[in-house]
Amino acid sequence: MSKLKNEWFDWIKALLIAFALAFIVRMFFFAPIVVDGPSMQPTLHNQDQMIVNKFIYSIDDPERFDIIVFHANEEQDFIKRVIGLPGEHVAVKDDVLLIDGEPIQENFLQQIKSQKEPNQTLTEGFRLEDLPGGYKEIPEGYVLVLGDNRNNSSDSRVLGLIPQDTIVGKTSLIYWPLNRIDILNTDDV
């Protein structure tokens, strides 16, 4: 009887340890998220399931073109792309991204740009000063984010600059559906 009790105790102990480890990993390191809506198309599709790296920004700062998840409000997280970093001025003119007045190539938009009509605008022109807050440069502790589907995205043009302390993490792995499995490499953009 004692041997059976020890076996049960070992199983219960192993299960508790497994649940505790899963909880710690989910809480502090990685979490799943489901893309909701078309704002990041064509890069991300509605209902893509992804993994969020929650600890990366505790050891590193966000970089331009990272795809991040942040708390847009108390009930909702958004997925957008980092475009502007602290200390920078951001503008878009004639569908060209300008950082501190210098044009920046957005390779992830090439597919959309090649399919648009000649007079169609992908990104309506704006300057940082025109956004909520009226900043002349992005202050320390904030980033400017845009969706890849620029004409159908609630991003910094509506929400204003995003405080870095509301960022949940960086996402780059699509794991579902199976035909969309991909690791998004922001170094290639």
CA distance 79 to 70: 7
CA distance 141 to 48: 29
Q: Is the dihedral of CA 149, 33, 188, 100 positive or negative?
A: positive
Give yes or no for a contact between 54 and 31, defined as CB atoms under 8 angstroms apart. yes
Indicate the SS3 state at residue 172.
strand
Give yes or no for a contact between 171 and 53, defined as CB atoms under 8 angstroms apart. yes
Distance, first Cα to last Cα, the chain: 64
Is 156 part of the annotated catalytic residue set? no
Q: Which of 3, 5, 39, 172 is catalytic?
A: 39
CA distance 106 to 112: 11
Q: Which of 54, 80, 156, 170 is catalytic?
A: 80
Indicate the SS3 state at residue 167.
strand
Is 170 part of the annotated catalytic residue set? no
Q: Where in the sequence numbering do the catalytic residues fall? A: 39, 80
